[in-house]
Structure 1
Amino acid sequence: MAADNKHDLVAITEKEFGKLERLIASLEPDIAMKTLEDDTCIKDIIGHRAHWIELFLGWYADGQAGKPVFFPAEGYKWNDLKRYNADLRQRQADLDWPDAVALLRDNHARLMSFIADHSDDALYGGPMKGANNAWTPGRWAEAAGASHYRSASKFIRAATRALARGVAS
């Protein structure tokens, strides 16, 4: 169930980030960079999660400024996510493991600052400007943070099991 107030949003975001942090801390860089069958690696997933926090913060800022908000990004529609994510992996190809982890930590701090700087009403009082749907800024923040952290943790656990079985390219 999604958070519906600032206190719960902070709690779930910190809880899921803590779980992800523990998994990240347990990984050796060579494991994080090892390509899996789907042509991704753990580093790609961490870079992706960091990037989506940037996207959310940009969407919010553009909506507040009355600018067009492009979901997920200019030139892409939601049904283009596979292509967008593949393009993102190419843009982040030179990102190494320590830099991906640092980017995630930095963007998590930016997300937490965003949440801290907004009231319950600003986070949950109505739809996010420019989003063209009923999701509140708090719901979008949870999707970019806690929900993405949870799915990244799940991916890392599955990837490390696959790598232990020798299922990598």
Structure 2
Amino acid sequence: MGVPQNKQELLEAIQTTHAKLWADLCTIPDARAHEVSMEGHAKDTLMSPADLVAYLVGWSLLVLKWCDRKAQGVPVDFPETGYQWNELGLLAQKFYADHAHQDYRTLLQQFAQVHVRILALVEACSEAQLYGAPWYGKYTLGRMIQFNTSSPNANARTRIRKWKKLHQLA
């Protein structure tokens, strides 16, 4: 699947990558979901499948926050208040910590809910809003949404499938 160039392609990319990842995430036994044995998002760190879901929830919530703040005319701290783009590993650790107390099924519910909210956001935008002009730096809103939803979902699926195979859960 190439980089989405319009609203319909963006919706398809988000839906397709989410559906494929969702199918894999739902087969992870609850007892193994918090097992810290997968390569983390920061160099030389490990995470659990639950941490990976927390990471995806965190980024989707950030996209929604960015859009909400921009719509209100409020400045946005990209990527997040207190973090720079060169500190994404630290931001990933924050996402893990934000959701560390949650059981795996609750995390999956949150992932499903934020997915619906992202789709609603995209549906509510016009083609021009998504792809007609730069939204952040040189990037359009559609590209920023893709960078932080369908793209990490595809990456996460690769990680999960590798982890499941390694742990004989495939």
Q: TM-score, normalised by structure 1?
A: 0.89
Structure 2: 5+ residue stretches without partners: 39-44
Worse-superposed segment, 84-93 or 31-40: 31-40
Secondary structure at the counterpart of residue 164 of structure 1: coil
The answer to whether 1:87 aligns with 2:94 is: yes
Map of 1:53 onto structure 2: 60
Provide the residue aligned with 1:34 in structure 2. 35
Counterpart for residue 106 of structure 1: 113
The structure with the greater share of residues assigned to strand is 2
Residue 133 of structure 2 corresponds to 126
Partner deviation per Cα, 1:5-52 (whole Å, 9 max, x = no partner)? 111111111111110111012221122221116431001101110111
Structure-2-length-normalised TM-score: 0.89
1:11 is aligned to 12
Runs (4+) off by over 6 Å: none
1: CA distance, partners of 2:6 / 2:84 = 29
Q: Which region of structure 1 is more displaced relative to structure 2, 148-157 or 32-41? A: 32-41
In 1, the alpha carbon distance for the partners of 2:28 and 2:158 equals 14
Count of matched residue pairs: 162
Q: Secondary structure at the match of 2:55?
A: helix
Alpha-carbon displacement from aligned partner over 1:110-162 (angstroms, at most 9, x marks no partner) = 0000111111111111112xx3x111111111122211110110110111123
Q: Give the 3-state SS of the residue equivalent to 1:69 in structure 2.
A: coil
Deviations 1:35-76 (A, max 9, x none): 116431001101110111110111122123222211111111
